[in-house]
Amino acid sequence: MADRVRILELQILAAKCRKNILRMVRSGGHGHIGGALSAIDIITALYFEKMHIDPLHPKMEDRDRFLLSAGHKCLAQYAVLAERGYFDKAVLDTYGNLGSVIPGHPDMHKLPGIEANTGSLGHGMAIACGMAMAAKMDGKAFHVYSVTGDGELPEGSNWEAAAAAAKFKLDNLTIFVDNNHLQISGDVTEVMNMEPIDKKFMDFGWAVRVIDGNNMEEILDALEALPFEKGKPNMILCKTIKAKGLSFGENNAAFHFWDASEELLCQAEQELDTYIKELERIG
């Protein structure tokens, strides 16, 4: 069981990262905010609690790897990398600028801490597999984590990777499915039903755990239990809320990509400030 104080600390950090996301959206005027906000708790826990990384040495050979298969959620990764000290937070204010190192999809050649150029959906799981295969081959201890979106799962290339991960016994690979149930066109099960996601992965030979992906305690407990089964790749099906933390946007597909107004940005920031103060008071 995760420590109560640490859970609070991570909840505060995740809230601060949510504020970082708003800061980028203010800079760019818009952004893929819905999925970034549903996945931010997972990514915060990884970078602040779980992964063996060093922000000052982002290319450290035996570092754990994290890549976003759902590259459009990159605001979440930028937010966490900035909070973790990979780069100056002033960079967040360049989002949307010509030549910014934090473009609308991540670029490994522009920003420290980015492991793959993702954006086109259905690529990340295979790339993550390749990294994990290399670790196995060389007897290295690093673990590879990736976040994929539930709306991304109809891409067939995911299932190629899912089969390969099982064949090569990649228990050093963990895929989080950010199961917020919404994509641009609406409910994922109506757009293209991939349910039951957990059973499909289990049938492919993965070890699966289902959690509330916006509950820090459940995230930490799942991370602590890795690998779930020796010789099996890990999938954590994260039940999440699209645009989590935006009182006016939660569970609303319209916030997959948000053309922000200053008024609503201020409101969201104020609500997060209030939430952070409340958490600090409890702590």
Partner 1 sequence: MIGNFVDPRKAFGSAVTELAADNQSIVVFSADSGKSSGFGDFAKKYPHRYFECGIMEQGITGMASGMATTGKIPVFCAIAPFVTARPYEMVRNDLGYMRQNVKVVGRNCGITYSDLGSTHQSLDDFGLMNLIPGMVILAPQDPVEIEEATKAMIEYQGPVYMRIGNPKIPVIFERSPFVIGKGQLLREGTDVTLISTGSTTLDAIQAAENLVKQGIAVQHIGMPTVKPLDVELVREAAGKTGKIVTVEEHYVNSGLGSLVTNAVSDMIDVVVKRLGIPEEYGKTSGDYRELVAYYHLDAAGIEESVKEFLYTV
**Footprint of partner 1 on this chain (CB under 8 A)?**
108-109, 115-117, 119-120, 123-135, 137-138, 144, 156-157, 160-161, 163-164, 167-168
Q: Which is nearer to partner 1, 1 or 139 (CB)?
A: 139
Q: How far is the CB of 71 from partner 1 (least distance, A)?
A: 10
Q: Which is nearer to partner 1, 134 or 254 (CB)?
A: 134
Q: How far is the CB of 77 from partner 1 (least distance, A)?
A: 16
Q: Which is nearer to partner 1, 109 or 281 (CB)?
A: 109
Cis peptide bond N-terminal to 112, omega within 30? no
Q: Which is nearer to partner 1, 6 or 169 (CB)?
A: 169
Q: Please give the Cα distance from 281 to 283 (Å, whole number).
A: 5
Q: Please give the Cα distance from 11 to 257 (Å, whole number).
A: 24
**94, 102 Cβ separation under 8 angstroms:** yes
Q: How far is the CB of 81 from partner 1 (least distance, A)?
A: 17
The dihedral through the CA atoms of 160, 163, 168, 173 has a sign that is: positive
Q: How far is the CB of 38 from partner 1 (least distance, A)?
A: 24
Q: Which is nearer to partner 1, 130 or 227 (CB)?
A: 130
Which residues lie closer than 8 Å to 128 by C-beta, 6 or more apart?
Answer: 65, 67, 69, 144, 145, 146, 161, 173, 175
Q: Provide the β-strand partners of residue 234.
A: 174, 207
Q: Give the angle subtended at the CA of 158 by the CAs of 148 and 130, to the nearest 5°.
A: 90
Q: Which is nearer to partner 1, 140 or 199 (CB)?
A: 140
6 by Cβ neighbours in 10 Å (0-12 / 13-18 / 19+) ranks as middle
Q: Please give the Cα distance from 196 to 213 (Å, whole number).
A: 17
Nearest Cα residue to 42 out of 16, 72, 77, 12: 77
Q: How far is the CB of 130 from partner 1 (least distance, A)?
A: 2
Q: Which is nearer to partner 1, 150 or 155 (CB)?
A: 155
